Amino acid sequence: MGMRKPKSREFKYDIMAVGAHPDDVEHGIGGSLIQWRKMGMKIVILHMTGGEMGTHGSKGTRRKEALAAAKTLKCDVDFLGLKDTEVRFTIETRNKFIRAVRKHRPRVIVAQYHDYPRMHPDHEQTGLIVKNAFRPCRFAQIKTPPHAPHWVENIYWHLFPFDMKPSFVVDVTDVMPAWEKVAACYESQLDSIPNYRERLMRFRRLAGAHIGVPYGEAFLCDVPLNATGVDITRFSPDPDYKEEERARGSERSPQRRRDR
Ligand SMILES: [Zn+2]
């Protein structure tokens, strides 16, 4: 039996989480990845570079850390192999990225925003590559054998300027201890960069404030979400909720959360 060509809307993953350097995704939106894994979503993390030009940690160390973080998150992981500090949007890097998307076939891509000059230039360029690959991924005339064209449904941006209003925020308060474990996989970065840990927490407090919870992770999308089937009546957590749950003396399950 020959290998069957996948249809352009056949998915292998729910989410492809893209970051320029190993740790960008896990430190930036690791809590959301944990929440989405709890919902049963399949996730692949794509690191554009090996982080080899970082001030702290060798390429080997950072690769090992990336593998450990993915394992802790129960996500798959891949490396695009671009050069750290030299990520640039070109047709060549776009096509390289298209190849990776077609190989992994995600429903949606989550990536660093393409316009945030205060950040590492690799982050913006990563966003530009993703933005420019989104539609051409479908084009049959761009050949990436053996991988067939693929339709990505949407892009959700993370790591965007504070004065931009998020399109949605994921409450990560309950998974902060689990996130700490994931974040700690990147020992070479977490406590070597001055104020880094505090900065990660500041981002989460700010995002959380948008939805009235202690810690959140914020996302931006260019087009509205299709909210059919989503419970749009729930905004902030019911303050009595945790008390009620404690009184019931049982563990939270996603089902109960939906039913309350
Ligand atoms: Zn980075």
Measured CA distances, 231 to 189, 226, 257, 260 (Å): 38, 12, 11, 12
What percent of the chain clears pLDDT 90, i.e. is strictly above it? Answer: 72
Partners of 156 in beta bridges: 110
Q: What is the pLDDT of residues 179-228, one digit of tens each?
A: 999 999 998 877 778 888 899 999 999 999 999 999 999 999 999 888 89
CA of 17 to the centre of ligand 1 (A): 13
Long-range contacts of 231-239 (CB under 8 A, 24+ apart): 231/258, 235/211, 236/211, 236/212, 237/171, 237/212, 237/213
Question: What is the value of pTM for the model shown?
Answer: 0.88
CA of 20 to the centre of ligand 1 (A): 5
Provide the residue-wise pLDDT of the chain in tens; the chain has 260 residues: 456 777 888 999 999 999 999 999 999 999 999 999 999 999 999 999 998 888 777 888 899 999 999 999 999 999 999 999 999 999 999 999 999 999 999 999 999 999 999 899 999 999 999 999 999 999 999 999 999 999 999 999 999 999 999 999 999 999 999 999 999 999 887 777 888 889 999 999 999 999 999 999 999 999 988 889 888 887 766 655 555 666 665 554 444 444 44
CA of 24 to the centre of ligand 1 (A): 5
CA of 194 to the centre of ligand 1 (A): 15
- Superfamily of domain 13-223 in CATH is LmbE-like (3.40.50.10320)
CA of 8 to the centre of ligand 1 (A): 31
CA of 108 to the centre of ligand 1 (A): 21
Q: Measured between alpha carbons, how far is 165 from 97 in angstroms, rounded to an integer?
A: 28
CA of 48 to the centre of ligand 1 (A): 10
CA of 206 to the centre of ligand 1 (A): 20
CA of 154 to the centre of ligand 1 (A): 22
List alpha helices for the chain, DSSP H: 24-38, 59-73, 91-104, 121-133, 176-183, 187-190, 196-211, 241-248, 254-259
CA of 123 to the centre of ligand 1 (A): 6
CA of 239 to the centre of ligand 1 (A): 36
Backbone angles phi and psi of 239, in degrees to 5: -60, -25
Q: Measured between alpha carbons, how far is 198 from 201 in angstroms, rounded to an integer?
A: 5
CA of 21 to the centre of ligand 1 (A): 5
Instruction: Tell me the Ramachandran region of residue 39: left when phi exceeds 0, alpha when psi lies from -120 to 50, beta otherwise.
Output: alpha
CA of 47 to the centre of ligand 1 (A): 10
Domain extents in the chain = 13-223
CA of 33 to the centre of ligand 1 (A): 17
Taking the CA atoms of the chain, what radius of gyration do you get in angstroms? 19
CA of 244 to the centre of ligand 1 (A): 41
Residue 146: Cβ-neighbour burial (10 angstroms; 0-12, 13-18, 19+): exposed
CA of 228 to the centre of ligand 1 (A): 35
CA of 39 to the centre of ligand 1 (A): 27
In contact, 221 and 153? CB cutoff 8 Å? no
Query: What residues contact 89, with CB distance under 8 A and at least 6 apart?
Result: 125, 128, 129, 132
Q: Which residue has the tokens 């292998």?
A: 12
Q: Which residue has the tokens 């989104």?
A: 134
Q: What is the pLDDT of residues 69-83, one digit of tens each?
A: 999 999 999 999 999
